[in-house]
Amino acid sequence: MSLRLLKYAFIEDYAEPRWFNTPATLGDSYDVVIIGAGGHGLACAHYLAHDHGITNVAVLDRSYLGGGNTGRNTTIIRSNYLTPEGVAFYDASLALFRDLSDALDTNIFYSERGHYTLAHNESTLRTARWRAEVNKHYGVDSEVVDAEAVGRAAPGIDLACGGNHAVEGALYHAPGAVARHDAVAWGYARQASRAGVEIHQHTEVTDILVEQGRVTGVVTPRGTVRAGAVLSAVAGHTPSLLAKVGLSSPIEIFPLQACVTEPVKPWLDTIIVSGSLHLYVSQSARGEMVMGASLDPAELHSRRSSFEFVSGLADGMLDLFPGMAGLKVNRQWAGMADMTPDFAPVMGTTPIAGFYLDAGWGTWGFKATPISGKTMAATIANGRDDPLIQAFNLSRFDDFSLVGEKGAASIGH
């Protein structure tokens, strides 16, 4: 038992301070209002305070902290993307993640595992080579390995895949990691709160006020709040929120499902992804196998999970890891993914002055949490897009300058 724990046995009033402020009253004016208390919104609040000294900030959420896609993703962190813009962006995120436990004074259980994207045919292998070369050019650690290397890294894997679609090789990304997603949100909430940021849970934004092309505040059931700047960081609710300010976007909402098995002894040290089989798997620190598949086929604004998902996932998973046949699925859930046509996010300024967007995070949002917070904070503080996110502005769809990132998506779509 640690001495710190022992100390509390002798202190009558031993409660640790709360992790974040929950002020009883909502103010009537803030410099910045952030809609959505997920990882992205809280990270932005933290960096607004930490990097730019802007602390008169309120983070509002319709539900509880980190209860949306922050708590529903499968926590994989990597930077082996396909476009120069994507690689630079996600690599900066990975660098922040590595030091995040220290920076937030919160153990986020960051654990580098290595990340294998399996190729079951020649065309997938060709994309893997392409990604490896782009990555190497930008100093990201990626290489193409053969099937034997996959076999050595993943015990129990059936490289013949039941004789249906043998593994030909893989894109290996050594810095691929997992982290505890709740801890990331809570760590940011704690630091932002210490700096004076207010976090209001169960405070839904029902309307956004715009006067003469400039955002002036938001309406909530607890009252109207004036704001100099408003950031929307609401993942699957983005289109509904944009409709309130009269903006439209190419974002479409599809459910993405995942599940975990009962915990077992550590046996899989690495992250295995197969785009062809539509699945990915890693083992959590608790021993659960964390698994996911592809997006649901049709648009849906709901977080229901389905039997089709687990049965389809198990079908592919047992081809790859026949030894998992006896494992029981403990929990399954879904998140609402805000998909974009080019599989890159939509970030930065909008045609409405003072209204900023951090959206289009589809199935790739968790790994971008620190850098999206940092770049959005810089964008809000300076009133113009941070250089790292200029390519991701909403205006790219007006002038056809898309950022084609689909080939680097882990999961099937």
Partner 1 sequence: MKYADFPLLGRRPFTEFSISGVLEPEPAELGEWTAARWVFERASVPRERVEWWYHGPSRLWFRVRRDTGSDIVVAIEPARTGSRA
Q: Which residues bind partner 1 (CB under 8 A)?
A: 239-240, 243, 248-253, 297-302, 304, 306-308, 341, 397-400
Nearer to partner 1, 38 or 239 (CB): 239
Least distance to partner 1 from the beta carbon of 235, Å?
A: 12
Nearer to partner 1, 9 or 298 (CB): 298
Nearer to partner 1, 287 or 312 (CB): 312
Nearer to partner 1, 213 or 383 (CB): 213
Nearer to partner 1, 107 or 248 (CB): 248
Helices 369-382 and 181-194, axial angle in degrees (round to 10): 30
Calpha distance 154→175 (Å, rounded): 16
Least distance to partner 1 from the beta carbon of 338, Å?
A: 8
Nearer to partner 1, 107 or 240 (CB): 240
Place of tokens 């850098």: 371
Q: How many other CB atoms sit within 10 Å of the CB of residue 310? A: 17
Least distance to partner 1 from the beta carbon of 294, Å?
A: 13
Reported as half-sphere exposure (CB side, CA atoms, 13 A), residue 291 has a value of 32
Cβ burial 114-141 (10 Å sphere, 16+ → b, else e): bbbbbbbeeebbebbeebbebbeeeebb
Helix, strand or coil for residue 345?
A: coil
Burial of 13 (0-12, 13-18, 19+ CB in 10 A): exposed
Residue 137 amino acid letter:
H
Least distance to partner 1 from the beta carbon of 358, Å?
A: 17
Q: Compute CA distances 305 → 45, 199, 207, 259, 366, whole Å.
A: 31, 29, 29, 9, 20
Q: For the CA atoms of 20, 22, 26, 28, what is the dihedral angle to 10 degrees?
A: -20
Least distance to partner 1 from the beta carbon of 382, Å?
A: 27
Least distance to partner 1 from the beta carbon of 101, Å?
A: 36
Nearer to partner 1, 109 or 392 (CB): 392
Least distance to partner 1 from the beta carbon of 253, Å?
A: 5
Residue 291 amino acid letter:
M
Calpha distance 198→202 (Å, rounded): 13
Q: Could you write out the DSSP letters of every residue in 386-401?
A: -GGGGGG-GGGGTTT-
Nearer to partner 1, 156 or 351 (CB): 351
Identify the helix (H) or strand (E) that includes residue 43: helix 39-52
Least distance to partner 1 from the beta carbon of 342, Å?
A: 10
Helix, strand or coil for residue 130?
A: helix
